[in-house]
Structure 1
Amino acid sequence: MPTPDFVLRLRERIGTDPLPLVGVTAVVFRDEKVLVGRRADNGRLQCISGIVDPGEQPADTAVRECLEEAGVTVRAERLALVQTVPRVTYANGDQVDFLDLVFRCSWISGDPHPADGELTEVGFRGLEELGDLDKDHVRRIALALAEDDPARFEGGLPV
C-alpha cells in the first residue's frame, strides 16, 4: 500500500513540513533465516516496515505489513528496539520524523512474494546472505535475534 490516506489528508494541511509518524519494522525469523525485501522506490534491501494507522496497535501493524507487502502471516513476539530515525525527505519534498518500533516476529505461514508492489523481491535469507542489507536493518536484526533480551530504548540521557 502506498502512502496511507490519513497521511495524505495531513499533507493537504501542512504541505511538506516535518510530520512525526510512528512506524514499525518487522524482523521475521523462520528457522535460521530472516525475511527481507527490496524496496521498489529506492532499491534498498531491508526488513518489512510500515506506518501505524490511527488507533492501530503497533504489533498489529507489524503483522499487517508482513501480509500486505510479503504475503506471509507472522506473529509479533516482542519489542526489540524503540528509536527515532534521522529525518526522511522524500523526492517530492515531504519530510517525516519516524519513531520506529522494531518487533521480533516469527513466521507462521505463506510463501513470501511481492504482494502489493512496494517490494520488487522478498524472501528469507540466512544471516550470512545479507551483504547488501541496509546497515540500520542489520542492527535491528541483531537486536531482535536474542529471544529473551529486553527491548532497547535509544536516548533517555539527561539533557
Structure 2
Amino acid sequence: MSDYVASIRAHIGTAFLMLPGVTAVIRDGDRFLLGRHHHSGLWSLIGGGVEPGEEPADALLREVLEETGARVRIRGIVGVYGGEPMMVRYPNGDHVGYVTTAYDCELLSEATADPEELLELGWFARDEIPALQRRDWIDRVIADASTHA
C-alpha cells in the first residue's frame, strides 16, 4: 500500500475507495505473461496503482519493474476498464474499485516474480487462460489486446 493510500485509509478505514490503476498486457505472439498474486492466489496481468503526480505510463513501467524486475516497451493502449469486475476486497478488509488503463507491452529483459507480491510468473496462450484460477476481468483485456495484434 502506498503512503498516499495509507493516508486515506487512516481517515476512511476499509470503506470503498476508487483508485486509478495501470495494467501491463505483456505478450509474445499469442502468449501472455501473467502473475499469480500472493494475496489471492489468482492469476492476473501485471499492474498496480498510479501515485499522485505520476504519469500513468511511468506508473506502468515502475509496477512492472517492481513486480518482475523486468523492463518493457509500451506499444500502445489496449483500453480503459472499470466497474464491478474491477472491484476487490483485500484480506485486510480494504474495499477498492480500480479504473485501469491497459497498455500493450513488449518484454525487453528477463522477468522473475517478486516474492513479496507474486507467487509465480507464467506465459500462457490465450486459449489456456480460461482454465486458470484468475481475475475474470483479464479475459476482456486479453480479448481486446488480441484484436489489436
Q: TM-score w.r.t. structure 2 length?
A: 0.87
2:119 corresponds to which letter in structure 1? Answer: T
Between stretches 46-55 and 90-99, larger displacement belongs to 90-99
Q: Are 2:126 and 1:127 equivalent residues in the alignment?
A: yes
Alpha-carbon distance in 2 for matches of 1:98, 1:129: 26
Does the 8 Å CA contact 2:126/2:142 hold for their aligned counterparts?
no
Find 2:58's aligned residue among 57, 60, 68. 60
**What's the CA shift for 1:91?**
2.6
**Mind listing any 5+ residue stretches in structure 1 that lack a counterpart?**
149-159
Q: Are 2:123 and 1:94 equivalent residues in the alignment?
A: no
Higher CA-based Rg: 1
Residue number in structure 2 paired with 1:23: 21
Residue number in structure 2 paired with 1:104: 104
Aligned residue pairs total 145
Structure with more of its chain in helix, by fraction: 2
Residue number in structure 2 paired with 1:139: 140
Between stretches 95-104 and 36-45, larger displacement belongs to 95-104
Alpha-carbon distance in 1 for matches of 2:36, 2:64: 13
Q: Are 2:44 and 1:43 equivalent residues in the alignment?
A: no
Q: TM-score w.r.t. structure 1 length?
A: 0.82
Between stretches 38-47 and 25-34, larger displacement belongs to 25-34
What do residues 5-46 of structure 1 show as CA deviations (whole Å, max 9, x unaligned)?
111111112222221210111110123321101001110011
Does the 8 Å CA contact 1:25/1:101 hold for their aligned counterparts?
yes
Alpha-carbon distance in 2 for matches of 1:25, 1:143: 13
Does the 8 Å CA contact 1:16/1:94 hold for their aligned counterparts?
yes
Identity %: 36
Root-mean-square deviation over aligned CA pairs = 1.7
